[in-house]
A and B are shown apart, each in its own frame.
Chain A
Amino acid sequence: MSGVYDCLVIGAGPGGLAAAATAAEAGLQVGLEDDNPAAGGQIWRRGNAAVSVSHSAEQWMERIRSAKVDVLCGWRATDAGTDALGTPFIRVEGLGGFRDLRYRKLILATGARELFLPFPGWTLPGIYGAGGLQAFAKSGFDVRGMRVVLAGTGPLLMAVTAHLHEAGAKIVAVVEQAPLSRLMSLGMHLAPSAPGKLMEGLRYRLRTMGTKYYFGHWVSEARGDGKLERLTITNGSESFAVEADLLGVGYHLVPNTELAQLLGCGLENGFVRVEETQETSCTSIYCIGEATGIGGVDKAQVEGRIAGFSAAGRIEKARSLFAARDKQLRFVERLAAAFALREELRGLAQENTLVCRCEDVPHGALRECHSWREAKLHTRCGMGPCQGRICGPATQFLYGWHAPAPRPPVFPASVGTIAAVDEAGVHHE
C-alpha cells in the first residue's frame, strides 16, 4: 500500500461505520478496518436483530459501499509508527501477513470489552462472559434446552437474555447486582432523553417474561465436577443455590483504550479524553463510541458522525450534532451511576481463586502486593498473552491498582511482523 488515507477508522462497530460513512460522504478517501471477519462491531456482527433509533447496520453498510470506503476486515491493529517520510501509519496484522495503513486523520472506534470479576469457581468450563456466551450462541453453539443463568450487571444482560431465550435456552435466572430502585430511577430519567433505549430494554424484558429476575443479587460461587453444575446466588444476607449448565457473567464494559494510549492520547477516568469535535489530546486523532464513555449504540453513532465531519473539516455540520450527542452523554453518566458495582463484589475471591488466568495467579498472592507493577514483577500477574487486558480491570476494581500505559504490540503479533520496518520488508541497519 503506497497510498495515504485522508481518514483511517479503526473499528467497524456502530461508531466506526458512522464515522467512515460520514467522512467519505464529505469527500475524504476513507479506510475502515476491523479485527473481525465481518463489520458491525459487538452488536451488529452476525446479524444481531437489536435495533437502534437512528440507523440500522444495513443502512450504514449501504452508505459505506456507495461512498467507496475501503473496508478491511480481519486485520487487527497491533502497533503504530511513522514511515521514512514522516507519515504516520497503523500496522495491522491478518492471516495474510501485515499491512501499514498510512493516514492523515485517524478515528479510533475500538469499543469496549466485558469486565470479569473473579469469584470461587469462575474458571469452571461452562462459564462465559455474558456477551461472549451470546457471541458463542450466534456462531452456532446449540443452547437449546440448556439451563442458563445470566449474571453480572448492565443493559447487556437483558439483551443477552433475550437472545438466548430466542435461541431456545432455558433461562433459569437473571441476576443483576444493581438494586431495582436504582434501575427504576434510571428508567425514569431515560424516558425523555433516550426513548429508544428504554423501549429496547422493555421489549427485551417482555420478550423474556417468565424468566426469574433477581435485582440486588450476585453469583457468589460456582461448583461442579469438571464443569459447571451449581451456582450460589446471594444478596448478601440470604443465599440460595440453582442448578445450571451455562453461566454468562459480565460486570458491564471496560473501554478498549490500548491503541489510543500507545499513540499518546490522554485519558480521563480510564476513558479517552476528547474535545467537542471528538479530537483527542493528539492532533488529528479522534476517538468515539465506548472508548470515550460507555453509552451504547446511539452514542457511538452520533459521535461517529461528529468525528467524520470534524475530520473532513465540516465543523458546522459537526456542531449541529452536539446537542444530540450531549443528550447521549447524560445517559452515559446515568448508566454508570445505575450500574455502579457494589462493595460486596470485592470480597468474593478466596485465597485460591485465580485472578490472572494466563499465569494462574490467585487472589492470595495478589493481595500482598501494593501495586500493579509489584504484582506483575513478583507474581507474573498480567504477563501472559492477554497482557492484563482481562485481569487488569479486575485488579483495578479489587485492589485499586492502575496499569501503566501499554507497550507495543497492543495485541500479540508475529515476530515477523514486528521485525519488518515497512511493508517492503526493508530494514534499517
Chain B
Amino acid sequence: MTQPAIFDVAIAGGGIVGAACARALAHRGLSVALVERDVLGSGATSAGMGHVVVMDDSEAQFALTRYSQQLWRELAPKLPANCEYEECGTLWVAADEEEMAAVEQKHRWYGDRGVPTSTLTASELSAAEPNLRSGLAGALLVPQDSVVYPPVVALTLAREAEKLGAALYIGKQVHILSDGKLVLQDGSIIRAHTIINALGSESARITPGVPVRKRKGHLLITDRYPGFVRHQLVELGYLKSAHKSTGDSVAFNVQPRSTGQLLIGSSRQYGAETSEVNQPVVSAMLQRAIEYIPRVADLKAIRIWTGFRAATPDKLPLIGPYSDDQSLWLATGHEGLGITTSLATGELIADLITGRTTAIPCEPYLPARFANANQANHLSKP
C-alpha cells in the first residue's frame, strides 16, 4: 500500500457505493483512499435485499439501472461464489386485469429500449411459482435481473481496489470532509485532490445541506426452504406504493437466496430515525406477503432487521461535484436502488473525474440540479 502525501481521490464511506467508486477509480490508475468507520459493507449495504433490478420509473432511472445491470452481468463471472450472484430474474406479479394491462405496457416499454422481457399468463405464472395464491392475473418476467449478497460484494470490490494500489482505512471515522481533506476522529488527516461523500444515509450529517433523508426499511429472513420461490417476486402495486415519495408503505417483495432462505420485504418509512423493529410495520409487511403466498405463514423466520435508505427529493441519486467546495463530490442518495446502481455510479464518477465521456448522460444525477438549496429543502418536505 503506497501512500502518497496527497491522494488523487479519497472516499468517505465503505458501503457498496464507496467500494464501487474506489474500484473504478483504481482501475483508471488513480491513487485512492477509502475510509470506513465500521466494517466494509456494514451500512445500508448489509441491510438491503441485494436485488439488481431494471426500473422504469423515469427515463433517467431506467438508464442508470439498465447500464448498471449490464455492468453486473459483465462482472458476474469474475465474482467469487460467496457474492451469491444469481440471475433468477424478476417476476412483476399482476393481481388483476388492470395490473395485467400494466404488464403489457411495461413489456412494450422495455422492448422498445432493448430489455428482454416476457409476459406470463395466470397459468404460466402458477407453473413458474406454484406457491403463489391462485387467482392472480399474470406477470412480467425480466430474466436479466439478479440477486447478490451485497456486503461481500462491497468487500470484494474494495479488495480489488486495494490490489490495484488503493489504501483502505477501516475502523476510521470521518469527522470533517472539506477543502481536500478528510479529518478523522483520531485527528489524522487524509488529503486528496477530490474527496467524495459516499456516506449513504449519513451523508448530510458530515456535509450539511446534502438533500438526503433517511427512509427506513424492514426485512425478514427465513430458515432454508430451497425451491419455495424461484424468482424475485414483486407486486406490481409496488410501483404505486414504494414510489410515492411520502408516507409509510409496505409492498409484497420476496427474494430467493442461494442458501434456500427467503428474504421478505419491504417497508418504507420517513421520520423513523432509530433502528428498532416496528411491529405494526412488520405485521403489515408480512400480511401483504401472506396475501400473495399464503403458505409463507408456516415458514420459520429467524431474524428481522431494519436499514436506512438515503432518499432524495426526486428519487434519483447524487453523483458528481457538489457546491462551492471545488474538491467535494457526492456519490450518495441511492434510496432503494443502491445495490443495483453502485457499479454504474463508480463508472460515472471515475469517468467524470478523469474527464472522459460517460457511457450514459450524467446530467440527471448531478448534484447541481439542487444548486438552489432552498429549492432542495422545499422539495424534500413531504
Of A189-197, A200-208, A295-303, A419-427, the one touching chain B: A419-427
Interchain CB contact under 8 A, B299 and A408: no
Which of A370, A377, A421 makes the CB contact (< 8 A) with B279? A421
With known contacts A385-B300, A407-B277, A414-B297, A377–B283 Cβ distance under 8 A: no
| Chain B: minimal CB distance from A414 (Å) | 6
- Asked whether any CB of chain B lies closer than 8 Å to the CB of A183, the reply is no
With known contacts A373-B42, A408-B277, A415-B220, A427–B284 Cβ distance under 8 A: yes
Determine the residue in chain A with the shortest Cβ distance to B288. Answer: A419
- Asked whether any CB of chain B lies closer than 8 Å to the CB of A345, the reply is no
- Asked whether any CB of chain A lies closer than 8 Å to the CB of B264, the reply is yes
Which of A387, A409, A415 makes the CB contact (< 8 A) with B296? A415
In chain A, positions 370-429 with a C-beta closer than 8 Å to chain B are 370-371, 373-374, 377-378, 380, 384-385, 387, 407-409, 412-416, 418-421, 427-429
Interchain CB contact under 8 A, A415 and B39: no
- Asked whether any CB of chain A lies closer than 8 Å to the CB of B62, the reply is no
- In whole angstroms, how far apart are the Cα atoms of A427 and B301 in the complex? 19
B277 neighbours in A (Cβ, 8 Å): 407-408
- Asked whether any CB of chain B lies closer than 8 Å to the CB of A88, the reply is no
Interchain CB contact under 8 A, B223 and A412: yes
- Asked whether any CB of chain B lies closer than 8 Å to the CB of A81, the reply is yes
- Asked whether any CB of chain A lies closer than 8 Å to the CB of B5, the reply is no
- Asked whether any CB of chain A lies closer than 8 Å to the CB of B289, the reply is yes
A419 neighbours in B (Cβ, 8 Å): 282-283, 286-287, 289-290, 297
- Asked whether any CB of chain A lies closer than 8 Å to the CB of B323, the reply is no
In chain B, positions 1-46 with a C-beta closer than 8 Å to chain A are 38-42, 46
- Asked whether any CB of chain A lies closer than 8 Å to the CB of B321, the reply is no
Interchain CB contact under 8 A, A416 and B290: yes
SS class, residues of chain A in contact with chain B: loop
Size of interface on A: residues with Cβ below 8 Å to B = 26
In chain B, positions 121-151 with a C-beta closer than 8 Å to chain A are 151
- In whole angstroms, how far apart are the Cα atoms of A413 and B298 in the complex? 9
Interface 0/1 of A90-104, CB less than 8 Å to B: 000000000000000
Determine the residue in chain A with the shortest Cβ distance to B298. Answer: A414
- In whole angstroms, how far apart are the Cα atoms of A324 and B289 in the complex? 54
- Asked whether any CB of chain A lies closer than 8 Å to the CB of B222, the reply is yes
Which of B40, B223, B282, B305 makes the CB contact (< 8 A) with A418? B282
| Chain A: minimal CB distance from B110 (Å) | 32
Interchain CB contact under 8 A, A415 and B301: yes
Which of A408, A409, A415 makes the CB contact (< 8 A) with B298? A415
- In whole angstroms, how far apart are the Cα atoms of A373 and B39 in the complex? 8
B41 neighbours in A (Cβ, 8 Å): 377-378
Interchain CB contact under 8 A, B279 and A378: no
Task: Count A-B pairs with CB separation below 8 Å.
Answer: 91
| Chain B: minimal CB distance from A373 (Å) | 5
- In whole angstroms, how far apart are the Cα atoms of A415 and B287 in the complex? 9
Which of A384, A385, A407, A415 makes the CB contact (< 8 A) with B264? A415
Determine the residue in chain B with the shortest Cβ distance to A369. Answer: B39
Most chain-A CB neighbours within 10 Å: which of B38, B289, B300?
B300
Interchain CB contact under 8 A, A378 and B152: yes
- Asked whether any CB of chain A lies closer than 8 Å to the CB of B182, the reply is no
| Chain B: minimal CB distance from A172 (Å) | 37
Determine the residue in chain A with the shortest Cβ distance to B41. Answer: A377
| Chain A: minimal CB distance from B248 (Å) | 10
B284 neighbours in A (Cβ, 8 Å): 427-429
Which of B222, B283, B305 makes the CB contact (< 8 A) with A427? B283
| Chain A: minimal CB distance from B265 (Å) | 13
Which of B287, B300, B303 makes the CB contact (< 8 A) with A407? B303
Determine the residue in chain A with the shortest Cβ distance to B275. Answer: A407
- Asked whether any CB of chain A lies closer than 8 Å to the CB of B304, the reply is yes
Which of A377, A384, A385, A416 makes the CB contact (< 8 A) with B39? A377
The 3 closest A-B pairs by CB, nearest first: A416-B297, A419-B286, A428-B280
29 inter-chain pairs at a CB distance below 8 angstroms, sorted by A residue, are: A81-B279, A370-B171, A374-B39, A377-B39, A377-B46, A407-B277, A407-B305, A408-B304, A409-B303, A412-B302, A414-B299, A414-B300, A415-B220, A415-B222, A415-B264, A415-B297, A415-B299, A415-B300, A416-B297, A418-B220, A418-B282, A418-B286, A419-B283, A419-B289, A419-B290, A419-B297, A421-B283, A427-B287, A428-B280
Interface contacts beyond A371-B39, A377-B152, A377-B155: sample of 15 additional A-B pairs, CB < 8 Å, sorted by A: A81-B279, A370-B171, A373-B39, A374-B39, A378-B39, A378-B40, A407-B303, A412-B301, A412-B302, A415-B290, A415-B299, A416-B290, A418-B304, A419-B289, A429-B284
